[in-house]
């Protein structure tokens, strides 16, 4: 089950860091720092999600 979730996180990261999504934040209207803020937040979200999946314990271990 963890492997399926990690594959899902990988696919989510591919989607978040692909060209069409990145181009939304790299426009002159959104400001020069918006791409860096987006990358930082999206990368942190993917790392946090992976950590949550990997650290999650089964219910019978408590």
Residue 4 and residue 49: Cα distance in Å, rounded?
A: 13
pLDDT for res 61: 55
The whole-model pTM stands at 0.82
pLDDT digit string, tens, across residues 12-62:
999 999 999 999 998 888 888 999 999 999 999 999 999 999 997 777 554
pLDDT for res 30: 83
pLDDT for res 57: 73
SS (H, E, C) 6-60: HHHHHHHHHHHCCHHHHHHHCCHHHCCCHHHHHHHHHHHHHHHHHHHHHHCCCHH
For residue 38, what are its two tokens? 């987006």
DSSP state of 3: H
């Amino acid at each position: 089950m963890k492997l399926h979730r990690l594959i899902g996180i990988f696919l989510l990261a591919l989607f978040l860091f692909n060209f069409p999504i990145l181009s939304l934040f790299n426009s002159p209207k959104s400001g020069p720092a918006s791409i860096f803020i987006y990358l930082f937040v999206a990368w942190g979200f993917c790392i946090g999600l992976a950590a949550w999946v990997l650290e999650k314990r089964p219910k019978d271990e408590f």
